[in-house]
Amino acid sequence: MRLAVDKFNQIALELLDELINCANPCCSNVKELMVEIRNADQTDQAGIEAQRGRVEQLKAALAACSENAAKRLLSVADYLVEKSVWIVGGDGWAYDIGYGGLDHVIASGKNVNLLVLDTEVYSNTGGQASKATPMGAVAQFAAGGKVMPKKDLGMMAMSYGTCYVASVALSNPSQVVKTFLEAEAFDGPSLILAYSHCIAHGINMTTAIDENRKAVACGHWPLYRFNPELAAQGKNPLILDSKVPTMTFEEYALGENRYRVLKKNNPEAAAELMKRANEWTARRFTLYEQLAQMSYGPETEKK
């Protein structure tokens, strides 16, 4: 989709250049408008809306023009307006079975936005464990509690250094809005990981936002934004929006049936997994804190 949009835009610009140099009155009468379209700043929403209005004027003029290039441009003129491309999927796709495709999109460097609705389990196909399933959680194929920690997809994407990466939760709506605006404005791939409560978690879905809040408060779901544009300015690209954890992973986890069921069926195994999960969660949050506090730019090079 992104490559197709870019190709149509390229064709439209080539036809526009041809018509700018055309002597036919139907072209010369709107030459100034075409030049404005050619040089339009579409880096923000206001610029895009203004361009959309100019393109509508151009299409009206092209409809009355007999030039072959005008007829061809009319069919692709809408691609002179900046297009936004979003890919939306779940954690089973993003972390697991479709990770190779997601990684390919990130590595392409193209202006594509990826939104991952992370329920931490294959929700649509019966609740099987995915690589996003946390340690200690019970799911199909992990009846004894998942023994490996959750894959850190955000950290993997950040390692490219060229992808906008963020982690969001509905318990902090202002951070969600800020993140989507930044991702949309970033000229390159962006990846947003969104904590998505699910009936498979074994919770009261009417109080699901409280579970979002607890996941953030214990450090299991750190809120952050990684913007490569800040690195280009000599600033740390990682902004940690979460505060220091105020509760343990276990305190959060035992409020959900996907964790409680193991404690009921196998208390010893549950205790061991919870101990490991508490340590892993705290260790990972500390790593994010340290990365967010690092110095960037010329001063770092001198040191």
Same domain membership, residue 197 and residue 105: yes
pLDDT tens profile 243-289: 999 999 999 999 999 999 998 899 999 999 999 999 999 999 999 99
Are residues 151 and 74 both part of a single domain?
Answer: no
User: Are the beta carbons of 141 and 96 closer than 8 angstroms?
Assistant: no
Say whether both 62 and 91 belong to one domain. Answer: no
What does the longest C-alpha to C-alpha distance in the chain come to?
A: 85
Res 141 pLDDT > 70: yes
pLDDT of residue 143: 80
Domain extent, residue 40, equals: 2-80
| 40 token code pair | 């339009």
55 and 154 belong to one structural domain: no
**DSSP strand pairing (238-240 vs 224-226):** antiparallel
Strand partners, 89: 116
Alpha carbon 122 to its chain's center: 19
Burial of 110 (0-12, 13-18, 19+ CB in 10 A): middle
Cβ neighbours, 10 Å, residue 191 = 27
Tell whether 130 and 224 lie within a shared domain.
yes
**Whether the predicted pLDDT of 299 surpasses 70:** no
Is the same domain home to 70 and 120?
no
Question: Which tens digits make up the pLDDT trace of 65-105?
Answer: 888 999 999 999 999 999 999 999 999 999 999 999 999 99
Residues 32 and 116 in one domain: no
CATH of the domain at 149: 3.40.50.970
The number of folded domains in the chain is 2
Q: Name the domain boundary from 55, 80, 105.
A: 80
Shared domain check, 107 and 32: no
Q: In sequence order, what are the beta bridge partners of 192?
A: 115, 166
Q: Closest Cα partner for 274 from 249, 247, 256?
A: 249
Q: Which of 80, 112, 144 is the last residue of a domain?
A: 80
CB 140 within 8 A of CB 127: yes
- List pLDDT tens digits, range 12-53: 999 999 999 988 888 888 999 999 999 999 988 899 999 999
Boundary (domain end) residue, out of 57, 80, 103:
80
Q: What is the pTM of this model?
A: 0.91
